[in-house]
Amino acid sequence: MEHFPSVAAARDGLRAPKEARGEHDPFVEARTAYWNRLRGGRKPHGPHGHGPSSSTLLRELLGMEYHPDHRVGTRPGGATSWDTVLAGMRNRVRAGEVPDPDECVRLLAGSASMRAVLFESWSATVRRYGAEWTTAAVRSALRTTEDPDAVAFLLDMTAATGLRPLPPPELLRLANGHDRRVAHAARRLLATYGRGRAHGAGGGDPADAYERVLLEALGRRPLTGSGITGTRPGLFVAQSMLMGPFDRPGEGLSGGLSVLLGSLGDALARTDGIAAVVTLVTACRPELEEDPVLLHRRGPGHWVLRLPLDSDHPVRPEEMGQHREALAWWAAELLGSLRRPVDVLHVRYADDGSLALAEAARRIGAALVFTATPDPHRQMSERHDVPDADPVHVRHDLHRVFLADRLVERADRVVGIAGRAGGTNELSRHFPQLAGHAGGTPPGAPPEGVAPYQPPPDRERRRELLLGAVDAVAGARAGRVPTVLLNVGRLHPVKQQDVLVRAWTESGCHRDSILVIVGGSPRTEDPAERAMRERIEQALVSCPEARGRLLLLPALPNAEVRMLERALADPARPFRARYVCSSAKEEFGLAVLEAMEAGLLTAGPVRGGVPHYLTDGRNGLLLDTSTSRNLGDGLKRLLRIGDEEAAAMTSRARRLVRTTYSSAAMARAMTGHYADVAGRKRRASGGSAIGLPRIRIPS
């Protein structure tokens, strides 16, 4: 008999790896001490205990950012003097300090991460130090700096705060220049002068679809057509989905979030108290060339609003900082052009795009809701507190942590994703400031859920095509009848399809099963997809006989995925089937829930939110996905579960999902949050009733 690792032991070990080994977590300790000092009324750079030992780059940067008085004579981890400046500024902004205008313009040319800090503090700087000082500092910088990123930033931020740092002729020269970011920002600033399409601005005809919609917006043409019409009384809610194509989950960056927000938006639009929902997505230049319409009606009460981005490809989260200021302008401009004001804007990811939308919410007077997750927080020390940590990844993850902190600070309501115990204890551990947020009330964790199954168009033909492809691979096996292992998700390192293939071959499970992976687009140039396909190929090199037992299908519409899952779960099928989620972690795991609802015996990762609803051995299996060996052991266990035991598990799983995790229940829970924050916002501002026009802050 083979020994399988204890799932409970794996779960406990993965929950807090540093603590499980009896070690300190320097990231959690630094943040906890910092926020404790702030709550105690002491400045965060005041007296404190010993800062983290500076043996790695992470610890050096933590010392600089959370213990600024902590000094290291040498920097063995590789921190730079600029790291010191950036860390100090983050520390001050977190503590509520406001840099003066001269300091802001002096630091602009430093880095994209510094510009994110200054973007966050800019409006406070103008309020604190006044328009005259700020305008003078900006004017001097615009006339002396040669950094186009700094120039574009200053032009956009002065436009947002109503400043006029340059006379129109100077702005016209910038608007007709060769740098697109500077030219576009100059045109947006000219629009605040009442010269949106001033004579000579733009150098003639627009060069592409992005410039066409920009000039139309500056000319005050209604880009959203007739706007949101035919709504009932209630709240007008906006929600963001800035990663990947909204209507093609599984391609590029688009995954479960697009499915979730599609079904949630539809359900919200049917919920009492909600007038309409608009889902915010992005559109790059090729997407605008293909379809220049910015507002589409998805269904009754649910619209999709496309925010233009000046990029030749869909923008990845790590690239969003290059578009942050323009995105904030577009969001405020387009949301403000709709026929009724937005009451609540909900963002769900800690990146520069969400920070831009939070700023847009401030400008149009909408309440902000933020879904916070401990990502990348929970793995900071585990991943980066090592001597050979990648400096780029360390700095990027610290940037994301800062963005998450600012979104928490800006939010009128912070909500989490239910954890293993049904609460948000892990979230509070990684966001110590939540102890002082909203009167110390722990953030809520509304249940996420799946929409009722709706068969796709042409379902019989599509069903036969998909099952035919699966059966052709399964039927080619001689001897024992194989089990079908199904995996669905975007091709991305966190989904670990390459680890799954290695686990499948190294464990010998390829002899008793075929593996069907659904995800990715053969047309895309997405680098993550391309790299994942290459790693899958490499995983097959040592086991060529497995190649004929692996079926790679491109991403399918969600309705077709659910149709395939139901078909594979049919007990009359000649091949039994199992669903396996190989992700390193899932914050919630919508695809796992959908497989459970379809009647497939489902296995998901022990790390993250899946254990909140999947109980090992009762309604599915939990897998240690940290290594291919451990995952292989889990696959063996999954394959050896008999049909009778599997039927009992799937029955319990399906009943749980259908009674507890529905999109309608999630919509009702979110409506309660939205009504509460909108009411508080209205009372605090002395505003009018929901649904009546408000004064719009200029963008």
Burial of 448 (0-12, 13-18, 19+ CB in 10 A): buried
Q: What is the mean pLDDT of residues 266-283?
A: 96
pLDDT tens digits, residue range 364-380?
A: 999 999 999 998 998 89
Reduce the secondary structure of 250-303 to three states and give it as a string: CCCCCCHHHHHHHHHHHHHHCCCCEEEEEEEEEECHHHHHHCCCCEEEEECCEE
Residue extents of the structural domains in the chain: 101-204, 235-450+662-685, 459-660
Tokens of 589: 């795991």
State the residue for tokens 């999709």. 304
Residue 115 pLDDT > 60: yes
Cα four-point dihedral sign 157, 159, 161, 165: positive
Residue 178 pLDDT > 60: yes
Residue 188 pLDDT > 90: yes
**pLDDT tier, 40 (very low <50, low <70, confident <90, very high otherwise):** confident
Higher pLDDT, 235 or 45: 235
**Amino acid 4: pLDDT:** 39
**Amino acid 107: pLDDT:** 94
Residue 475 pLDDT > 60: yes
Phi and psi at residue 146, to the nearest 5°: -110, 5
**Two domains, one topology: 235-450+662-685 and 459-660:** yes
Pick the range with the lowest mean pLDDT from 22-36, 65-79, 93-107, 416-430: 65-79
State the chain's mean pLDDT as an integer.
87
Q: Which residues contact 683 (CB under 8 A, 6 or more apart)?
A: none
Residue 248 DSSP label: S
Q: What is the mean pLDDT of residues 205-210?
A: 87
Q: Per CATH, is 235-450+662-685 categorized as 3.40.630.40?
A: no
Residue 110 pLDDT > 80: no
**Amino acid 443: pLDDT:** 85
Lay out the sheet containing 577-580: strands in order across: 550-553, 513-518, 483-488, 577-580, 601-605, 621-623
pLDDT tens digits, residue range 53-78?
A: 558 999 999 999 998 665 555 566 68
pLDDT tens digits, residue range 547-556?
A: 999 999 999 9
Q: What is the mean pLDDT of residues 675-690?
A: 77
Residue 272 pLDDT > 70: yes
Percent of the chain predicted with pLDDT > 70:
85
Cβ atoms of 384 and 555 within 8 Å: the answer is no
Q: How far apart are CA 269 and CA 299, in angstroms?
A: 9
CATH of domain 459-660: 3.40.50.2000
**Amino acid 476: pLDDT:** 82
The helix (run of H) or strand (run of E) holding residue 571 is none
DSSP track, 492-504:
-GGG-HHHHHHHH
Q: Are strands 344-347 and 577-580 parallel, antiparallel or unpaired?
A: unpaired
**Amino acid 690: pLDDT:** 39
Higher pLDDT, 53 or 122: 122
pLDDT tens digits, residue range 618-660?
A: 999 999 999 999 999 999 999 999 999 999 999 999 999 998 8
pLDDT tens digits, residue range 566-604?
A: 999 999 999 999 999 999 988 888 899 999 999 999 999
Percent of the chain predicted with pLDDT > 90:
67
pLDDT tens digits, residue range 369-408?
A: 999 999 899 889 999 999 999 999 999 999 999 999 999 9
**Amino acid 357: pLDDT:** 98
Residue 532 pLDDT > 50: yes
Q: Please give the C-alpha separations between residue 426 and each of 16, 301, 432, 528, 594, in angstroms, as whole numbers.
A: 10, 35, 10, 29, 25
**Amino acid 696: pLDDT:** 29
5 residue type, one letter: P
- Whole-structure pTM over 0.85, yes or no? yes
Residue 270 pLDDT > 70: yes
Higher pLDDT, 324 or 205: 324
pLDDT tens digits, residue range 11-21?
A: 444 444 454 44
